[in-house]
Amino acid sequence: MQIKPIIISISLLIFGNVSAQKADSDILKTKNGTLQIQPILHSSLVLTYNKTTIYVDPYGGAKLYKGLKSPDIILITDIHGDHLDQKTLDSIDTSKAIFILPEEAAKKLIKKYDNEIVILQNGQGVHRLNFFISAIPMYNLPEEPNSKHPKGRGNGYLLTIDDKQIYISGDTEDTQEMRNLQNIDIAFVCMNLPYTMDINQAASAVLEFQPKIVYPFHYRGQDGFSDVEAFKKLVNAKNKTIEVRLKNWYPTN
């Protein structure tokens, strides 16, 4: 596999090659090591801190994960097929993975998985492999019985990895819980209608909780792709210190 160098901000990142680094990945220097961020597809990503690897919502088939280290932790945010993708889970090596997921998603896992399964409700947290992972509510507004994402069913996640705080939104709108976040180093924020929120809601929330770096992801909706370039302009027009990073979250298109 050819590994391409990434041109990066010296203040936040370092040049470097790590095992199975793919194009469009970022490497951030932390207090005690490095954190690699690998976009995969839609809302799926891989985080590798030193030698520990976290898969978030594995989706899209085995070929997208070829050459990447097998997961030590798998985070699942919700029950929908673009988050809980049984076909992809069956096609990758999950033999050593700890599954962390909401209760409704755990019920849908095929019983053949003899893994450690940690069920987190909104507001709960757990320490695993020197990381602290807590579940943040993700839901649609207004809260209605027929909502695509009712409050309490799915989880966004807040990860403490070394000295970095990483927020993964899950499928949500610009909830008060998102807006109340503090001291976020890296945020992955969804924006696709009619399932989550539009770019204006996403930008408004980001401007309120002010992560240092934000990755728009999960931006394919019913009518195509959200305008992430416009999202970036909305954010930076009011706060130039928030770094908006646009990545290729749809490599098969």
26-244 has which fold? Metallo-beta-lactamase; Chain A (3.60.15)
Map tokens 């069913």 to a residue: 153
Quick count: other Cβ atoms within 10 Å of Cβ 72? 18
- Round to whole Å and give the CA distance between 60 and 83: 10
- Round to whole Å and give the CA distance between 56 and 11: 27
Residue stretches of the chain with pLDDT short of 70: 1-21, 252-253
Q: What CA dihedral angle connects 97, 155, 194 and 191, to 10 degrees?
A: -80
Q: What pLDDT does 245 receive? A: 98
* Residue 135 and residue 120 in contact, taking contact as beta carbons nearer than 8 Å: yes
For residues 90-99, b (16+ Cβ closer than 10 Å) or e, as one string?
ebbebeebbb
- Round to whole Å and give the CA distance between 14 and 8: 7
Q: What pLDDT does 146 receive? A: 82
Bridging pattern class, strands 52-56 and 220-221: unpaired
Q: What pLDDT does 253 receive? A: 53
Supply the pTM of this predicted model.
0.90
Strand-pairing partners, residue 188, are: 168, 215
In angstroms, the Cα distances linking 230 to 70, 199, 241 are 35, 8, 17
Q: What pLDDT does 144 receive? A: 84
Q: What pLDDT does 59 receive? A: 96
